[in-house]
């Protein structure tokens, strides 16, 4: 198959267009997740990232939500919790405790209503 520079330019342009649309969708999903977590969470000290491959990375200081709320979050955004890592550091000299929680989710297969 022989391709010309013009053909490659078209292919690269298509790729750029698709990538721009994916970035917009990712940001829209992230914004929706942020607003949801702010409405149900116990802290707003978190970062969330929705990646192209459907992986969601969520990190927060403190406890963002309880187990029931995690299940609700998964239901709303069609996610499956893969990993939950909670680290607690006690500082006896300063008499405080720092909690750092990390979650890793993946998107589940989308099921149409009535299926």
| Residue 113 placed within a domain | no
Structurally, the chain folds into a number of domains equal to 1
Q: Tell me which of 113 and 95 has the higher pLDDT.
A: 95
Q: What is the pLDDT of residue 111?
A: 64
Question: Is 18 inside a domain boundary?
Answer: yes
Domain containing 62 equals 5-107
Could you give the 3-state DSSP secondary structure of residue 113? Answer: coil
- Quick one: CA torsion of 63, 66, 69, 73, rounded to 10 degrees? 50
Determine, yes or no, domain membership for 26. yes
With 60 as the cut, is the pLDDT of residue 115 above it? no
What is the 3 state secondary structure string of 69-99?
HHHHHHHHHCEEEEEEEEEEEEECCCCEEEE
Q: What is the pTM of this model?
A: 0.76
Residue 36 resides in a domain: yes
pLDDT digits (tens, 9 = 90+) for 31-80: 999 999 888 877 788 899 999 899 999 998 877 676 678 888 999 999 99
The answer to whether the beta carbons of residues 73 and 65 sit under 8 Å apart is yes
Domain assignment of residue 73, yes or no: yes
Provide the b/e sequence for 79-88 (b: ≥16 CB within 10 Å).
bebeeeeeee
pLDDT tens column, 85-106: 888 889 888 898 888 889 999 9
The pLDDT assigned to 97 comes to: 87
Decide: 33 and 48 in contact? Cβ < 8 Å: yes
What is the per-residue pLDDT for 44?
A: 80
What pLDDT does residue 62 have? 76
């Amino acid at each position: 198959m022989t391709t010309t520079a013009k053909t490659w330019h078209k292919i690269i342009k298509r790729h750029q267009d698709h990538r721009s649309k994916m970035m917009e969708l990712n940001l829209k999903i992230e914004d929706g997740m942020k607003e949801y977590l702010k409405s149900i969470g116990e802290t707003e000290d978190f970062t969330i990232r929705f990646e192209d491959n459907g992986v969601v990375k969520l990190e927060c200081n403190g406890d963002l939500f309880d187990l029931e709320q995690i299940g609700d979050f998964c239901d709303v955004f069609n996610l499956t919790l893969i990993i939950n890592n909670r680290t607690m550091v006690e500082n006896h000299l300063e008499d405080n405790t720092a909690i750092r929680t990390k979650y890793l989710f993946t998107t589940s297969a989308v099921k149409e209503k009535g299926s």
